[in-house]
Amino acid sequence: MSGPEVAGLPGIAANITYLSDCTPKLCDMKYATMEYVPNVYANELYLALFAIFLVVQLIMVFPYHTWSYTFMMFLGSILECVGYWGRLAMHFNIFMETPFLINIIALTIAPVFYTAAIYLTLARIIRHYGVYNSLISPRTYTVIFLTADVVSLILQSLGGGMANAASTKEESLRGVHVMLGGLAFQVFSMTIFMLICAIFFLNVRKDQIRQKATNWATGKIDPPAQHIKGYSSFVIIFAFAFFLILVRSCFRVAELSHGFDGKLANQEIPFMILEGGMLLLATFIMTAWHPGRFMKREWKKSKPVVEPERKFSIGSGSTNNGSGYYPNGRPNSSAMQPTPSQWPSHGNMQQVPL
């Protein structure tokens, strides 16, 4: 026997006995897992692209040794592949429940691992720009938000399991609500993370302005613009990837808020754009702008990213090593203020880059 027996039910062809034997031509779509048949070409494309990104991520781990980052990206990408495989299986039998649940569970929890990769990356970024600019330590960032990811993952997995084991619509809806709670918690933790990061980068910006002003006054040379621009671009594009994942998570909350039978859950175009499209673009960014390209092997060491030729000073008495990182905390403000005798002469002003 394959699936529930549906012989004799309204909208079922006379020669159909089990639900697994149904097709859209022989059975009413109200018996299907969704109100539409997934597009085979679009889902094949998404599956292929996520698989390509997965392979590229595995290759890039060897020169950069970003094992923790790659592990999280691997888990997220493999779940995306499994999810779109489930959607392809749904194309060939939209009435079978197993492919539907594979699609729902895999695609719902996959972004948890992408955000975990971003949390791990931020800890290194904080060390690069200066721990003193952060409200909390890099390790605390990692512990708090990875824990939030685990809680979200447990809730979403538990809800998916409840929906899978449900024998009635009410039990299935209960599982959906648990999944929804996990998604909502994920959105909440991501929003808090984004706000804390915004404060950090505002502090970084203020600190950079202060450093540049002091360097000008003391006749010091700023670090090469290419270095600053390259790393800043990496941070900005990674922040955009995080925003894309947040948009996707908000969409899934709205989608599941009315259950599997809701209007939004039964429209393919919004799903392919706001679920698949957002995560596909985020995965591309997190692969093309791989943190290893900017941090080199410093990822493994978890130390400030500094190259000797890029060192610069912000004044006497500072322990700055060129990256804006101070081993002993925020630099002494008095050490950063030049005395009149330290000001450059008018003849030197044109040689100081502004």
Over residues 8-44, the pLDDT tens digits come to: 888 888 888 888 888 898 899 888 889 999 999 999 9
Is the same domain home to 16 and 135?
no
**pLDDT > 90 fraction of the chain, expressed in percent and rounded:** 45
Is position 93 within any domain?
no
Tell me the CB-side half-sphere exposure of residue 316, using CA atoms within 13 A.
6
Is the same domain home to 280 and 175?
yes
Is the same domain home to 27 and 120?
no
Q: Which long-range contacts (CB under 8 A, 24 or more apart) does 229-238 make?
A: 230/294, 231/128, 231/294, 231/305, 233/289, 234/289, 234/291, 234/293, 234/294, 235/125, 235/201, 237/285, 237/289, 238/118, 238/121, 238/285, 238/286, 238/289, 238/291
CA distance linking residue 343 with residue 94, whole number of Å: 75
Question: What SS3 class is residue 5?
Answer: strand
Is position 216 within any domain?
yes
For residue 27, list its beta bridge partners: 12
Q: How many domains does the chain have?
A: 2
CA distance linking residue 177 with residue 158, whole number of Å: 10
pLDDT surpasses 60 at 331: no
Mean pLDDT value across the chain: 81
Is the same domain home to 196 and 293?
yes
pLDDT surpasses 60 at 273: yes
Is position 284 within any domain?
yes
pLDDT value for 1: 46
User: 129: which 2 tokens?
Assistant: 């720009």
Residue 183 phi, psi dihedral angles, 5° rounding: -65, -45
Query: Could you tell me the residue range of the domain that residue 250 belongs to?
Result: 112-301
Is the same domain home to 138 and 250?
yes
Is the same domain home to 292 and 192?
yes
The pLDDT tens digits of the residues spanning 145-155 come to 999 999 999 99
pLDDT surpasses 50 at 346: no
CA distance linking residue 201 with residue 175, whole number of Å: 39
Is position 346 within any domain?
no
pLDDT band at 304; cut points 50, 70, 90: very low
pLDDT surpasses 90 at 222: no
pLDDT value for 216: 61
pLDDT surpasses 70 at 271: yes
CA distance linking residue 185 with residue 108, whole number of Å: 13
pLDDT value for 301: 63
State in Å, rounded, how far the first CA of the chain is from the last one.
77
Choice between 107 and 232, residue whose per-residue pLDDT is larger: 107
User: 325: which 2 tokens?
Assistant: 């990182």
Is position 231 within any domain?
yes
